[in-house]
Amino acid sequence: MNAPTSAEDWRARAASLEIRNKIFIDGEYRDAVSGKTFDCVSPIDGRVICQVAEGDAADIDAAVRAARAAFEDGRWRDLHPRKRKRALQKLADLMRAHQDELALLETLDMGKPIRFSGAVDVRASADTISWYAEAIDKVYDEIAPTGPEARALITREPLGVIGIVVPWNFPMLMACWKLGPALATGNSVVVKPAEQSPLTALRLAELAIEAGIPAGVFNVVPGFGHTAGKALGLHMDVDAIAFTGSTEVGKMFMEYSGQSNLKQVGLECGGKSPHIVMADVPDMDTAARAAATAIFFNQGEVCTAGSRLLVAREIKDEFLEKVMASAQRMQPGDPLHPKTVMGAMVDDRQTERVMNYIEAGKAEGAKLLCGGRRVMEDTGGYFIEPTIFDEVSNDMKIAREEIFGPVLSVIPFDTPEEAVKIANDTIYGLAAAVWTSNITTAHRVSRELRAGVVWVNCYDHDDITTPFGGYKQSGFGRDKSLHAMEKYTNLKTTWINLG
């Protein structure tokens, strides 16, 4: 089939899509035990794409039992590492071969532009799976230097059954950041996708079977957070939860763990990332483009969004002119049009939430420079203009709370020390950036910023080789890189007496 090149092509492809809408347990699709379903609504036009089986505690229990059986009989964890590697590589290859289909599912389901769902989401997801596949037979265990009377082996062992709970902003990529290391280390998984975006995870599970990953290893239960998500968090036979989502729900998973079996919890939560532009910014045009992309990419629905722009007062007006010009080029459009760079908000609830923050910004006295309106309402979809507020102070609601939409708060500062103080004055610590020509400032500020990722003279640079995660209430534990494998393994020390 030829690659679609226009919105019409994509719509034609969408009309013939075969959508997987059932729970996937033990290698098979099935209805929910309750028989219930929920509407899967496309934010592009507000239409119902399909009915999805609504999993709850009974389905989570069935999925965990299937995952446990697969783990205990060793069908995956005891497979020769070379074979596990091949299966995961095949899964990555299948994802690449199905790039258009997966991209289309992602765009229809959560509204991001089709140009990014293929070139960014599917590619990065497949690359993540193949990178961890490669790691399977490259990571060695340890022998401790204990002396001649004994030998102490330090080995990493898979935890068992991992519950993977993910959000809707990068549905497939967030799942793959966890699936890659969890499966590579030999675990079985139960994925609970966000109710707003279950479709790619359901398709991925089927591709995993085609790739040779045994039935029962990779299960997917779509459903709501307060039912299916909670049941996974409270399940007595789940060994760990790998969560990405809001800080509020992350805290609940800590509680679920305490109320049940003390399962391990890894949390990738929210952010309110400071993007600092010093007066000696090396290239104002590049920095301004980066500042706009940092907040408006993916409709602002990005955990690392540079949502607080801290600009040296002496260059602020000139700099903001350039940021606004970039924002102007990022107006929302039809997500299925290959040229569109800003798509739809995920649903009506998120749209209302973002619009409420825009109203709060106005009410608190911030100066609306551009945007601020819901647009394209005649499509039936959910679109919001790129919005910039100037003269924001760091104690305003729009500077303190994660909006998760295309809303930028601009905060002026007078000295680098003041910039760092404002930057760190937040409950979050996921990411931060600083633009400066001075190498001492670059090092000093990046050392002082309390964030899991700091960018100097760039924003959103990303590679699977680097760990990703937060300080403070942005969570703990790391996705990506070899460090992520620590989340899915236990360390065992085995003493062998040589005396």
Between 25 and 194, name the residue whose CB sits nearer to ligand NAD: 194
Residue from 168, 218, 455, 459 in contact with ligand NAD (CB under 6 A)? 168
Residue 452 binds ligand NAD, judged by CB under 6 A: no
Tally of residues, the chain = 499
Min dist. Cβ of residue 319 to ligand NAD (A): 26
Angle formed at CA 251 by CA 249 and CA 254, multiple of 5 degrees: 120
Active-site residue flag, 377: no
Closer of 89 and 351 to ligand NAD (Cβ): 351
Residue 12 burial by CB count (10 A; 0-12/13-18/19+): exposed, middle or buried?
Answer: exposed
Nearer to ligand NAD, 73 or 462 (CB): 462
Burial grade of 359 (CB within 10 A; 0-12, 13-18, 19 or more): exposed
Judged by CB under 6 A, does residue 233 bind ligand NAD? yes
Q: Is 169 in the site for ligand NAD (CB under 6 A)?
A: yes
Contact criterion met (CB below 8 Å) for 412 and 317: no
Q: Which residue has the tokens 């991209």?
A: 103
Binding of residue 165 to ligand NAD (CB under 6 A):
yes
Does position 303 bind ligand NAD by CB under 6 A?
yes
220 forms part of the interface with ligand NAD (CB under 6 A): no
Give yes or no for residue 270 binding ligand NAD (CB under 6 A).
yes
Phi and psi at residue 455, to the nearest 5°: -105, 135
Amino acid at 126: A
CB of 238 to ligand NAD, least distance (A): 12
Report the side by side order of strands in the sheet with 407-413.
Answer: 367-370, 387-390, 407-413, 308-312, 274-277, 431-435, 453-456
**Closer CB to ligand NAD, 89 or 219, in the complex:** 219
**What are φ and ψ of residue 181, in 5° steps?**
-70, -30
| 8 A C-beta contact, residue 370 and residue 387 | yes
Q: Name the percent of the chain in helix, strand, coil, to the closest 5.
A: 40, 20, 35
H/E run at residue 131: helix 123-135
* Residues touching ligand NAD, count (CB under 6 A): 29
Tell me the closest approach of the beta carbon of residue 51 to ligand NAD, in angstroms: 18
271 sits near ligand NAD (criterion: CB under 6 A):
yes
* Shortest CB 361 distance to ligand NAD, Å: 19
Site for ligand NAD in 101-160 (CB under 6 A): none
**Pattern 57-96, ligand NAD, x by CB under 6 A:** ----------------------------------------
Q: Which stretch binds ligand NAD (CB under 6 A): 75-83, 106-114, 191-199, 361-369?
A: 191-199
167 vs 412 by CB, closer to ligand NAD: 167
Active-site annotation holder among 54, 303, 385, 402: 303
Q: How far, in Å, CA of 389 to CA of 405, rounded?
A: 13
269 is catalytic: no
> Which residue number, 192 or 203, has a Cβ lying nearer to ligand NAD?
192
CB of 256 to ligand NAD, least distance (A): 7
Query: Which distant-in-sequence residues (6+ apart) come within 8 Å of 321 by Cβ?
Result: none
Residue of the chain from 195, 239, 334, 347 that contacts ligand NAD (CB under 6 A): 195
358 is a contact residue toward ligand NAD (CB under 6 A)? no
Phi, psi (5° rounding) for residue 405? Answer: -160, 180
List 77, 90, 178, 230, residue binding ligand NAD (CB under 6 A): 230
Q: How far is the CB of 269 from ligand NAD (least distance, A)?
A: 5
Q: Environment class of residue 265 by beta-carbon count within 10 Å: exposed (0-12), middle (13-18) or buried (19+)?
A: buried
Cβ atoms of 21 and 50 within 8 Å: the answer is: yes
454 near 431, Cβ under 8 Å?
Answer: yes
Nearer to ligand NAD among residue 29 and residue 224 (C-beta): 224
Pick the catalytic residue: 268, 301, 385, 402? 268
Which residue number, 216 or 477, has a Cβ lying nearer to ligand NAD? 477
Calpha distance 166→242 (Å, rounded): 8
Would you say 245 or 371 has its CB closer to ligand NAD?
245
User: What is d(CA 262, CA 256) in angstroms, rounded to the nearest whole number?
Assistant: 8
In the shown chain, the binding pattern of residues 401 to 440 toward ligand NAD, with x for contact by CB under 6 A and - for none, equals -x-x-------------------------x----------
Among 40, 175, 249, 310, binds ligand NAD (CB under 6 A): 249
How near is the Cβ of 35 to ligand NAD at its closest, in Å?
20
Decide: helix, strand or coil at residue 238: coil
Q: Which two tokens stand for residue 135?
A: 């790691």
The span from the CA of 499 to the CA of 490, in Å, is 28
Residue among 175, 189, 59 nearest 109 (CA): 175
Residue from 447, 458, 410, 412 nearest 279 by CA:
412
- Residues with active-site annotation: 268, 303
Interacting residue ranges for ligand NAD, rule: CB under 6 A: 165-169, 174, 192, 194-195, 224-226, 229-230, 233, 244-246, 249, 252, 268-271, 303, 402, 404, 430, 470
